[in-house]
Structure 1
Amino acid sequence: MSWFWLLVLVVFRLWFAGALPMTGDEAYFVFWGEHPAGGYYDHPPMVGWWLSGLLSISRDEWFLRLPVLVLPLILAGGGWWLVRPHGSERARMAALLILLQPVNVWNVLITTDTPVILFTMLSLLAYVAALRADPRSRRVLVWHAVAGALLGLAFLGKYFAALLGIAYLAHVLFIRRDAARWAGFALLLVAALPAPLYNLWWNSSHCWVNILFNFMNRHQSAGLSLNNPLQYLASLVYLATPWVLFELCRQRKKVVQAVRENRETGAVFWLMLIPLALLALMSLGRSVGLHWLVSFVPLLAVLAASVLPLAVLARLLRWSAVFAVLHVLAIVVIAALPMQTWKNNRLYDGIVLTVHADELLANLQPYASDYLFAMDGYSPAATLAYHARRPFAVFGEGSFHARQDDFITDWRAQDGRNVLILRKSEPKMDEYAAFFNHVDSREFELYGTRYYILLGQRFNYAVYHDKVLTRIRDRFYRIPAWLPQRGCAFCERYFPEMNEQ
């Protein structure tokens, strides 16, 4: 039966990875991969590095998504290994519970979360291996160093990998009592530090963009809200599945006993609980995305498989299997529905753009040789650039998200050039008139939704500099004076006078 579920899951995920069009976020990370660099605007560079390598082989969606297709198998293997000392049947159930967690059924998206989830699990496995090793053996220190190096790699995927580092520190401070804990943690820390130090070094010569985005620009609207904690709780219940959480709560005495009596079970519990608790605290002031929890949710399945009675685990697996089948059926049905089914959805224009990008691009082809193509948002720009295999700039101020185009498109070089701006809403011509000698518009319909082409003749860089680039600098590149700067390409390119001050 285990092999049956594994086969079904692999076949479905392969089909879905090939059938699902490249989403805007994924296309944006492909954009990273097409421009190999030491780092990128929003996050550390790991997924961009991965995609650079994959793009050298193929651009097929299923191939670029290969890391996330393999990821659930690695997570399940890690769960199996963690539970193996409790018996082979429990280990098998741990692997199946992880495979059947909802996100491991439907998530085929290659994003910055993929390397974080992978390296977080591998780091945790190395840490537990250190706990299992003979305390008199050198392997204890070696495994701590491996855990630290893998934590560093997770950090190069996304900053919130640091939550696991905090969990390691708390575990050493308050839970562990063995003689090797401080030497081991010291090695773990030393092995992890090169990654964040490298990231800081890169940021210091690149406008501190990761710091500005993750800790300043994206939190301007943060504030206390009851909705955010409720959203966090709903996300946790969904990802871990309600029945697993219910049984863990119902049999909490067994859980507490196992955590106290078994060092490895205790480690899994605390290394899961501390990050989830920190995320819960964060949810009091801001929205915590569903994807932030995924690195630690597999450990709930590990805990359940280690503690709960086998009969209960068998029942949980049946419910999880039914839940997984419902997800599969829902996705298959949605994929089979005609496009017009979603016509009344407010996101319909974006759905058409994503699903029928090639047909949309055919309407732009007559202008391909004479115009720079652009859009007013990063997601559709990245999606169309992926399909067209040509740049789509982001015209205008945009948002605090996904500003990598600030470093790719040099607007000075576009001075005097014609620019085509594709929009999903009707443009106000007077808003664009100042940027061009002449503006005109066209429109076309595709699957019942209307798109607008704004044709700008002879782009005026000087006006764009004063009206747009200056606002971008003031809004997104306000680098605090206490951060040491070795360079900022955006400011050096458009505001060289700043370097003379």
Structure 2
Amino acid sequence: MNARWANAWRGGTLGVALVLALLVFRFWFSAVLPMTGDEAYFVLWGEHPAGGYYDHPPMVGWWLTALLQASRAEWFLRLPAVLLPGALALVAWQLARPLGSERARLAAMLVLLQPASVWNVLITTDTPVILFSVLAVGAYVAALRARNPPRALLWQGVAGLLLGGAFLGKYFAALLGVGILAHVLLARRDRGRWAGFAVLVLAALPAPIYNLWWNNGHCWVNVLFNFVNRTADAGFQAENPPLYFVCLAYLATPWLLIALWRQRAALRAAAQRADVGAVLWLAGVPLLLLFLLSFEKSVGLHWLASFTPLLAAIGAMALPLANVARLLRWSALFAVAHVLLIGVICTLPLETWRNSSAYDGIVLTVRADELLARLQPWADDYLFATDGYSPAATLAYHARRPFAVFGEGSYHARQDDFLTDWRVHDGGRVLILRKSEPAADEYAPYFERIALQHVDLHGVRYTLVLGEGFRYAAYRDGVLTRVRDRFYRAPAWLPRRADSPCEFCMRYFPDDTGGMLPLKPR
């Protein structure tokens, strides 16, 4: 039996069957998984096309704008994420192909069987970052392998364009740029390295220049979010560096990391090849920088996902073939375990999670249509709102109508600051859906009259705050002023364009000089 199984692996029959089964699973999972709050928030971006957004550069919003022209079905909007592992596997195959067809096949299979390739069907800002980053590595290595200078420069330009595309997904794509610079400075000795690097930089530069131009005319919102607002709580926490290694081991798989460490002599020998060494540098430098960052901030799984497919490619390119085949078998078992676990979870009744602290959010996500049906008596007369971005985005996606965020909210996901103009609702009615009972006087300053009602759904009691006679002036002074002071105060080193002041500040505080205020100590 073991011999037949091994022969099936070597012949590729079992591998092809497993890949096809995983693809079917991913399409099924993308269809049955309810739209998550983060995804619904990015769909909101797509529904309001713009040159940029509050949290990040605009790439996933642009993708969703295009997809929404055809369908709003979850499985369709998630198509880029569903098909992403196939693209990553093709790059891994291309990276390993000069070392033999067997290594190329194993490289592609290792990528397809990594945990994120099994379960991650979510369409988020990470989807374009992962795609363009790995494609950029493939183009950079193709430049190193090119046999004539013009072709090498062409591939360097392609790598730069792809790196720019990754940057327009998320800022941390710049870590790959640092990896490329480190490789050029410290590893390469060929005569064409600086000309190629110059072409790469020139091709990549339009993306960050565009992003800076857009931010300069829009309150510097995603610069403030990424480098000021979300770093306020940064500081050393003893659990973060170990957690980094746990996340890395999970995404790359522990057996791959162990094999790379045990076979480090083989890895060093393989890295003498320019192409293998380049992949090692372009994966290793960003991962090292993220490890150093973990001493100041928690590094999540999604931050590592752009580089763990490269580790799989390195393993297939450098390790003995027998070792890689064993790794593949372990990864296949791990993938099957994920599929079975997810299948079981999806069949469990909703009430299974009743004792979870997240149960109210689970019900809101999974039974959004039922909750919206309970809100219909107020649909014509009230502005619907929640007290957080995730439920607001989720309900807006299912209702196909706006859900505002009432209150200060968090530093995350503040796109509603630009979508909802509270001035036009002065004197109007607002329904605020909450997962918890509000304090008695929490909303009193902002309405002439308030009534509370409750909606019981699958064991969760949601509170409806029915406010009449909205007092915009009180809301501006009590809430929007805090929002301005906390999220829209720019450091002095950020330039201000007199012809394009901060939209949020000018809307509610037109007397502020230039629409932006200096940063206050926190």
TM-score (norm 2): 0.95
Specify the alignment match of 1:159 in structure 2. 171
**Aligned counterparts of 1:500 and 1:281: Cα–Cα separation in 2:** 38
**Distance in 1 between the 2:307 and 2:155 partners?**
20
The alignment status of 1:57 with 2:47, answered yes or no, reads no
Give 1:69's aligned amino acid: V
Partners of 1:191 and 1:308 lie apart in 2 by 34
SS of alignment partner, residue 496 of structure 1:
coil
Pick from 225, 240, 265 the counterpart of residue 253 of structure 1: 265
Contact 1:492/1:499 (<8 A) preserved: no
After superposition, the Cα gap between the structure-2 partners of 1:500 and 1:229, relative to the gap in structure 1 and judged at 3 Å, is closer
Q: Which runs of 4+ in 1 moved over 4 A?
A: none
Of the structure 1 ranges 1-10 and 365-374, higher mean CA displacement relative to structure 2 is found in 1-10
What is aligned with 1:77? 90
- Structure 1 residue 92 corresponds to structure 2 residue 124: no
Partner of 2:231: 219
Q: How far off is 1:482 after superposition? A: 2.4
Match in the other structure for 2:519: none
SS at match of 1:75: helix
Offset of 1:500 from its aligned partner?
6.7
CA positional deviation for 1:289 = 1.0
What secondary structure sits across from 2:494 in the alignment?
A: coil
Identity fraction in percent: 66
- Partner SS state of residue 444, structure 1: strand
Corresponding residue of 2:508: 494
Residue 405 to residue 500, structure 1, CA distance change in 2 (3 Å) = closer
2:442 equivalent among 431, 437, 440: 431
C-alpha distance in structure 2 between counterparts of 1:98 and 1:10, whole Å: 13
Q: 1:500 to 1:98 in 2, by over 3 A?
A: closer
When the two chains are superposed, the root-mean-square deviation of aligned CA atoms in Å is 0.8
Q: How many angstroms apart in 2 are the aligned matches of 1:216 and 1:483?
A: 12
Distance 1:174 1:482 in 2: 32
Distance (whole Å) between structure 2 residues aligned to residue 291 and residue 350 of structure 1: 22
CA-CA distance at 1:2 after TM superposition:
2.1
**Which runs of 5 or more residues in structure 1 are unaligned?**
none
Q: Please, which runs of 5 or more residues in structure 2 have no aligned partner?
A: 1-13, 516-522
| d(CA) in 2 for partners of 1:73, 1:386 | 28
The reply to whether residue 119 of structure 1 matches residue 132 of structure 2 is: yes
Cα shift readout 1:238-274 (whole Å, capped 9, x = no counterpart): 0010111111111110101111x21100000011000
Report if the CA contact (8 A) 1:41-1:210 is conserved: yes
> Equivalent of 2:116, from 91, 94, 103?
103
Asked whether the equivalents of residues 435 and 459 of structure 1 are also in contact (C-alpha less than 8 Å), the reply is yes
- Contact 1:39 / 1:45 at 8 angstroms: preserved in 2? yes
Q: 1: distance between equivalents of 2:514 and 2:100?
A: 68
Partner of 2:335: 324
Check if 1:229 corresponds to 2:241.
Answer: yes
AA matched with 1:113: D
Aligned mates of 2:237, 2:440 — CA distance in 1: 39
Q: How many residues align?
A: 499
Counterparts of 1:150 and 1:40 in 2: how far apart (Å)? 21
Q: Deviations over 1:197-233 (max 9, x none)?
A: 0000000010001110000100111101111111111
Give 1:276 shift. Answer: 0.1
Q: Which one of the candidate residues 13, 17, 38 is aligned to 2:51?
A: 38
CA distance in 2, matches of 1:231, 1:151: 28
Q: Decide whether the 8 Å contact of 1:429 with 1:439 is kept in 2.
A: no
Q: Is the 8 A contact 1:376 1:421 kept in 2?
A: yes
Map Cα deviations across residues 306-358 of structure 1 (whole Å, 9 max, x no partner).
11122111111111011001100000100100111100000000000000000
Contact 1:491 1:498 in 2 (8 A): yes
Q: Which amino acid aligns with 1:365?
A: Q
**Cα offset, 1:120, TM superposition:** 0.4
- What amino acid sits opposite 1:123 in the alignment? A
Q: How does 1:220-369 map to 2 (within 5 A)?
A: 220-259=232-271, 261-369=272-380
Q: Residue in 1 aligned with 2:10?
A: none
How far apart, CA to CA, are the structure 2 residues paired with 1:285 and 1:499? 35
CA distance in 2, matches of 1:285, 1:400: 18
State the 1:137 CA deviation.
3.1
Question: Normalising by the residue count of structure 1, what TM-score does the alignment of the two structures yield?
Answer: 0.99
Per mean C-alpha deviation after superposition, the further-off stretch among 459-468 and 304-313 is 304-313
CA contact (8 A) 2:448 2:470 kept: yes
SS of match in other structure, 2:43: helix
Match of 1:221, as an amino acid? D
